[in-house]
Amino acid sequence: NAGVTQTPKFRILKIGQSMTLQCTQDMNHNYMYWYRQDPGMGLKLIYYSVGAGITDKGEVPNGYNVSRSTTEDFPLRLELAAPSQTSVYFCASSHGGRAQPGKPQHFGDGTRLSIL
């Protein structure tokens, strides 16, 4: 059981470039999330998904897009990268919904992204 796997681990982008951060989980979790973590700040939710084909915005969605075509994968796309998007990005997954309320989220080890 690998849990939540994120690739790449590190990346440097130039301003205006685009890229996709990959996230896959093997726990058959229906819910998946993307967070960003900036120094001295708490984790902020970017987007989340309650199942394949369903996504919704979190607290800080501007400049990002997501898709969820399968239960396992939840990629995060950055279009027109900006210096303000320099951060550490974490993907997480959990069981969720009315049948399983309050289950913990399980996190990957993050992608460290610098935009210069």
Partner 1 sequence: EDQVTQSPEALRLQEGESSSLNCSYTVSGLRGLFWYRQDPGKGPEFLFTLYSAGEEKEKERLKATLTKKESFLHITAPKPEDSATYLCAVQRRGGSEKLVFGKGMKLTVNP
Question: Where along the sequence are the contacts to partner 1 (CB under 8 A)?
Answer: 4, 31, 33, 40-45, 48, 50, 56, 58, 90, 92, 94, 96-97, 101-110
How near is the Cβ of 16 to partner 1 at its closest, in Å?
A: 28
Nearby residues of 20 by Cβ (< 8 Å), 6 or more positions away: 75, 76, 77, 78
How near is the Cβ of 50 to partner 1 at its closest, in Å?
A: 7
How near is the Cβ of 29 to partner 1 at its closest, in Å?
A: 10
Q: How far is it, in rounded angstroms, from Cα 11 to Cα 32? A: 22
Nearer to partner 1, 91 or 115 (CB): 91
- Give me the half-sphere count of Cα atoms (radius 13 Å) on the Cβ side of residue 63: 15
